[in-house]
Amino acid sequence: MMNFSATPKDREFLLPASPLFIAVSLFVALLLDWLPWGGLWLALRPDFVAVVLLYWCTHKPYRVNIGIAWAMGILSDVADASLFGQHALAYAVLAFGGVVLHRRVQMFDLRQQTMQVFPLLLTAYAVYAGVHWQLHGYVAWEYFAGSVTSTLLWAPLTLLLQALRRPRTDDEL
Amino acid sequence: MEHTESVRFFNRGPSPVVRLAFFSLLSLLLLFVDARYQYLESTRRVIAALVYPVQRLSTLPGELWHGAGAFLTLQNNLVHDNELLRARHVADAARLQQFDTLQLENAQLRKLLDVQQRSDYRMQLAEVVYVERDVFKREVFIDKGSQANVQPGQIVMDDNGIIGQVTRVYPWLSEVTLVTDKDHAVPVQILRSGLRAIVFGSGDTNDLALRYMPVNADIQDGDELVTSGIDGTYPPGMPVAKVTHIERDPAYPFARILCSPIAGVNSQRFLLILSGEHKLPPRPPEAAAPDSRGKKGKKKMP
C-alpha cells in the first residue's frame, strides 16, 4: 500500500498543493540552508532549497516556475553574500530542467527519479561554480559533493512532501 | 494533440524556454552590474533587512544549544578556567604596568625624533552570528552593522591576532572576510628580522602562504609575522601568522612558505572590531604604477 511510484492514479489521491503549503515548504528549506553549517558539513550539505524547488517544478510545473526559482535564488544570494544573480541563475536553470522534464520524471519510480534528478542538480551546481570560476578564476571541487547529497535527499524529500499532501483517511480521523 | 498542447501553453503564459532566457539574461545582467560596478549595494541592504529575521531564526537552535552548554558547564571546568584566567590576569597586569611607562617613553622618543605618533584604537566587541555558508569563501558574519558604526575596511581581531577585515556592512550585520580567504593579502613584517612580505590566504581553512619570497630569504620555521601597517588598512604590529613550513627548492625563483594564522580564525565566537582609523600621509602622485606593495590589503573583492 505504501507505493509512491507517483503514477497518475496515485496522484489523484493527493490534495491540491495550496500556495501556502508551497510557500511554507520553501521557507523551511531556506531555514535549513541557513543553519550554521561549517567545514566538512558545509561541503556535504544538500541544497535544500534546490531540491524542494525541483520537487515543485516537476510536480506542479504550472504553480512553481522559473520565476519563483529565480526569486528564491536572489534571496539566497543576499543571505550568502554571493554576487546578485549567482544562485538565481543556477536555480533558474534547475527549474527549467525540472519543468521541461516533469512528465518524464513523474513516470518513473523514486529510484529512477533519483537518476533523472542527478544531472539536473549537477548542472545547477556547475552553473554556480562556473560563474564563480569566471569571476574569481578558481573552482573549489569539494563544492560538487553537495550535488550528490542533494540527489540523495530527493527520495526522502519526495516521500515527505507526498505524505504531507496525502488526505487523511477515515480511520485516521 | 500538438494543437491542444500549444493552446495549453498559451494559456499558461510564456513557454519555459522564453522564461529561462528572460531570467538568465536578468541574472547575467545583475551579475555583471554587481561584479563590475557595485551599484546594487542599497538593494542588497534592503533585501538583507528583510531576510535578517529569518536568518536569526535559523541560528536560534545553535544559540540555544550554546546557551544550554554554558548553563550546564561542570563546576570543575569553571574552577579550572577561573584559575587559568587569574594567572593570566596577574601576568598581564605586570606587563601592562610596564606598557604604560613604555608607551609614555615611546611617545616622548617619537616626539624627539619627530616621527609621526601612532594612534590609539578603540575596540568594539562583536559576536559571530554565522560562519560562511559558501564553500568558496572564508567569511563570517558578525552582529554589529552600520547601526553600531561599523564601516567597511575595519579590522577584526581576537585576543591573539588578526582575524580579517570588514568587507560589507548591513544595518545589523557585517560581513568579515577572513585572512584565510583565497588571495586575501595582508602586508606583514617578520618580527625577528624586520623583513617585509605579503601573506596571502590560500582558501584553505588553516593555511596562509607567503608568496614572492626569494629562496635565500631570512625566514625560519616558527617566525612570527606581524602586520607592517604599510598598506594603511591594517594597523602596524598586530600578530597575523606563524611560519610552519618552508620549502627551498633552487629550481624555483621563490621559496614555498606556509604559515598558520595565530588568531583562532575558525574557532572564535567573540571578536573585536578596531575602530580608530590608521592614518597615513597621502601618497605622492607620480610613484604609483608598478608597485603592488602599497595597494590596499584586499586585492580582490570577493
For chain A, the structural domain boundaries read: 14-163
Give the C-alpha separation, B258 to B141, whole Å: 27
Q: Do B19 and A142 touch (CB under 8 A)?
A: no
Summarize pLDDT for B273-294 with one digit per residue, the tens. 887 666 667 777 765 555 544 4
- Give the pLDDT mean for B137-161: 86
- Reply yes or no on whether the pLDDT at A171 is more than 80: no
Q: Which of B23, B47, B130 sits opposite A78 (nearest CB)?
A: B47
Q: Which of A67, A75, A138 sits opposite B19 (nearest CB)?
A: A67
Q: Which residue of A has its CA nearest to B301?
A: A136
One domain, residues B125 and B111: no
Among residues 60-99 of chain A, which lie with CB inside 8 Å of chain B?
62, 65-67, 70, 73-75, 78-86, 88-89, 92-93, 96, 99
Q: Which long-range contacts (CB under 8 A, 24 or more apart) does A152-156 make?
A: A152/A46, A152/A114, A153/A46, A153/A48, A153/A51, A154/A51, A154/A54, A154/A55, A154/A110, A154/A113, A154/A114, A154/A117, A155/A110, A155/A111, A155/A113, A155/A114
Q: Do B205 and A84 touch (CB under 8 A)?
A: no
Q: How many Cβ contacts (< 8 angstroms) between chains A and B?
A: 127
Identify the residue whose cell numbers are 551579475.
B31
Percent of chain A residues past pLDDT 90, beyond the cut: 45
pLDDT at B278: 60
- Reply yes or no on whether the pLDDT at B45 is more than 80: yes
- Give the pLDDT mean for B260-272: 83
Residue B13 lies in a domain: yes
pLDDT at B16: 84
Chain A residues with CB under 8 Å of B137 CB are: 81
pLDDT at B11: 60
pLDDT at B110: 80
Q: Please tell me the distance in Å from B108's CA to the nearest CA on chain A.
A: 46
Q: Give me the number of domains chain B comprises.
A: 3
Q: Which domain holds residue B82?
A: 75-117
Q: Do A31 and B57 touch (CB under 8 A)?
A: yes
Q: Which residue of A has its CA nearest to B299?
A: A136
pLDDT at A83: 83
Domain end residue (candidates: B71, B100, B131): B71
Give the C-alpha separation, A72 to A82, whole Å: 13
One domain, residues B86 and B217: no
Give the C-alpha separation, B260 to A23, whole Å: 45
One domain, residues B130 and B274: yes
Summarize pLDDT for B64-103 with one digit per residue, the tens. 887 888 778 778 888 998 999 999 999 988 888 888 888 8
Stretch (H or E) spanning B19: helix B16-37
pLDDT at B7: 52
pLDDT band at B120 (very low <50, low <70, confident <90, very high): low
Backbone angles phi, psi at B196, to 5 degrees: -90, 145
Residue B266 lies in a domain: yes
- Give the pLDDT mean for B95-123: 79
Among residues 114-153 of chain A, which lie with CB inside 8 Å of chain B?
131-132, 135-136, 138, 140, 142-143, 146
Summarize pLDDT for B176-189 with one digit per residue, the tens. 988 888 888 999 99
One domain, residues B243 and B203: yes
* Cell of residue A69, nine digits: 526559482
One domain, residues B170 and B244: yes
pLDDT at B234: 85
pLDDT at B147: 85
pLDDT band at A29 (very low <50, low <70, confident <90, very high): very high
Lowest mean pLDDT among A21-25, A61-65, B135-139: B135-139
Give the CATH architecture of domain A14-163.
Answer: Orthogonal Bundle (1.10)
Percent of chain A residues past pLDDT 70, beyond the cut: 88
Residue B289 lies in a domain: no
- Reply yes or no on whether the pLDDT at B3 is more than 80: no
Chain B residues with CB under 8 Å of A80 CB are: 133-134
Q: Do B31 and A89 touch (CB under 8 A)?
A: yes
Q: Which of A62, A84, A96 sits opposite B34 (nearest CB)?
A: A84
pLDDT at B149: 87
One domain, residues B154 and B208: yes
- Reply yes or no on whether the pLDDT at A154 is more than 90: yes
pLDDT at A90: 94
Identify the residue whose cell numbers are 527519479.
A113
One domain, residues B45 and B186: no
- From the list B70, B205, B67, B60, the residue with the least C-alpha distance to B129 is B60
